[in-house]
């Protein structure tokens, strides 16, 4: 499986053109502080997008990631502030909860034979509701400095969320592109029945990719709560759209069997740069929503065109 494909080269070219135009329009764009800000802004959904790449390559989809993000952030915050848990233990528990939620999505999809779109749409409300019940709809404040360090701490001048996103992207990208597990996921998404007849545990692989995505959504939830200094049950609303758009822009297909983490990260970067550029140019926030919605529609159209060319 090649690490670089034509789709990714095209996205990189589009990113370069967009960056050049923004640099001409706003001198602040190419400053080191602004570029680090851009990376920080999309690092949360960039982390989730790595897991979503695995899920979409396997031929599935998950709409509950924003709710899992909120659940994990609130759980970790409650454990450190109310229960007095060490930060590391609280984070581990939150990530485990995210993995369980993801595995539940996968198990229900496999066992009930219902499309994952429907299952995760329902779970999106279920998980969000559980978060509201557990927090009584109230944010959790007064987070300790050790917890807040996860969101604002820096290593060599780079914030921890950006470093985590980079590490997740490298490990997830190499594992998907160059390991037997990754090849099995591609085979499952490309032709599930053929993969099953070839002896691959397709049901188990589908549950596994959902669990992986849930764990990464939980990691993002903890980092997000640490960055904004408060855990909110409303956090992550709408993130599933940004995440899916980044994956599809990056060259993945809703039909499964196609996509790379490198392409996804380029897609996430393109969306982050566009958002930042609109802010620097002083574009009305409502028009920013229109622009982002247009990107999502364009991503779906691009996927349809790719699938048409394949046929």
Tell me which residue of 112, 18, 7 sits closest to 53, measured CA to CA: 7
| Contact between 11 and 249 (Cβ < 8 Å) | yes
Residue 233 or 274, more confident: 233
SS3 state at 74: helix
Residue 103 or 241, more confident: 103
Quote the pLDDT of residue 33. Answer: 86
Residue 239 or 7, more confident: 239
pTM exceeding the 0.85 threshold for the entire prediction: yes
In this prediction, residue 303 has a pLDDT band, given cuts at 50, 70 and 90, of: low
| Mean of pLDDT values over 80-104 | 97
Residue 278 or 75, more confident: 75
Is the pLDDT confidence value at 305 over 90?
Answer: no
In this prediction, residue 76 has a pLDDT band, given cuts at 50, 70 and 90, of: very high
| Mean of pLDDT values over 280-306 | 77
Q: Where are the alpha helices (DSSP H) in 154-284?
A: 160-178, 180-190, 192-197, 202-228, 239-249, 261-280
Both structure tokens of 56 = 């979409």
For tokens 């691959």, what's the residue?
200
In this prediction, residue 111 has a pLDDT band, given cuts at 50, 70 and 90, of: very high
Quote the pLDDT of residue 179. Answer: 97
In this prediction, residue 306 has a pLDDT band, given cuts at 50, 70 and 90, of: low
Using one digit for the tens of pLDDT, what is the confidence trace for 9-41?
888 888 888 888 888 888 888 888 888 889 998
CA angle 202/207/213 to nearest 5° reads 125
Rounded Cα distance between 180 and 129, Å, is: 38
Rounded Cα distance between 139 and 36, Å, is: 28
| Mean of pLDDT values over 43-63 | 96
| Contact between 268 and 42 (Cβ < 8 Å) | yes
Quote the pLDDT of residue 6. Answer: 64
Quote the pLDDT of residue 1. Answer: 42
Rounded Cα distance between 222 and 113, Å, is: 32
Quote the pLDDT of residue 2. Answer: 44
Using one digit for the tens of pLDDT, what is the confidence trace for 221-241?
999 999 999 999 999 998 998
Both structure tokens of 284 = 């009305």
Using one digit for the tens of pLDDT, what is the confidence trace for 143-187?
999 999 999 999 988 999 999 999 999 999 999 999 999 999 999
Torsion, Cα of 127, 128, 134, 135 (10° steps): 160
Is the pLDDT confidence value at 101 over 60?
Answer: yes
Q: What's the Cα-to-Cα distance from 2 to each of 5, 205, 240, 260, rounded to whole Å?
A: 7, 22, 27, 9
| Mean of pLDDT values over 266-293 | 85
Rounded Cα distance between 137 and 122, Å, is: 20
Is the pLDDT confidence value at 204 over 90?
Answer: yes
Measured from the Cβ of residue 237, the count of other Cβ atoms closer than 10 Å reads 15
Tell me the residue length of the chain. 311
For tokens 């993995």, what's the residue?
99
> Which domains does the chain carry?
6-305 (1.10.3470)
For tokens 């982002």, what's the residue?
292
């Amino acid at each position: 499986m090649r690490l670089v494909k034509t789709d990714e080269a095209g996205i990189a070219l589009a990113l370069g053109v967009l960056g050049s135009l923004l640099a001409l329009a706003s001198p602040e764009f190419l400053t080191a502080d602004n570029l680090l800000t851009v990376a920080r802004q999309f690092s949360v959904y960039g982390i989730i997008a790595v897991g979503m790449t695995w899920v979409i390559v396997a031929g599935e989809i998950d709409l509950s990631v924003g709710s899992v993000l909120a659940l994990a952030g609130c759980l970790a915050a409650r454990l450190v502030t109310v229960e007095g848990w060490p930060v590391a233990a609280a984070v581990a528990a939150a990530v485990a909860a995210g993995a369980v939620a993801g595995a539940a999505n996968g198990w229900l999809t496999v066992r009930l034979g219902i499309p994952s779109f429907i299952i995760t749409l329902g779970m999106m409300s279920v998980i969000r509701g559980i978060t509201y019940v557990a927090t009584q709809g109230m944010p959790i404040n007064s987070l300790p400095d050790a917890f807040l360090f996860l969101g604002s701490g820096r290593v060599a001048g780079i914030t921890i969320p950006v470093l985590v996103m980079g590490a997740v992207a490298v490990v997830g990208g190499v594992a998907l592109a160059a390991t037997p597990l990754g090849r099995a996921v591609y085979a499952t998404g490309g032709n599930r029945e053929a993969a099953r007849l070839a002896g691959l545990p397709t049901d188990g692989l589908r549950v596994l990719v959902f669990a992986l995505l849930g764990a990464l959504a939980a990691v993002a939830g903890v980092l997000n709560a640490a960055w904004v200094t408060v855990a909110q049950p409303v956090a992550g609303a709408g993130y599933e759209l940004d995440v899916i758009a980044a994956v599809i822009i990056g060259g993945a297909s809703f039909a499964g069997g196609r996509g790379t983490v490198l392409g996804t990260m380029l897609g996430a970067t393109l969306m982050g740069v566009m958002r930042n550029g609109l802010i620097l140019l002083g574009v009305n926030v409502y028009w920013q929503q229109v622009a982002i919605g247009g990107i999502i529609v364009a991503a779906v159209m691009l996927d349809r065109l790719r699938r048409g060319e394949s046929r």
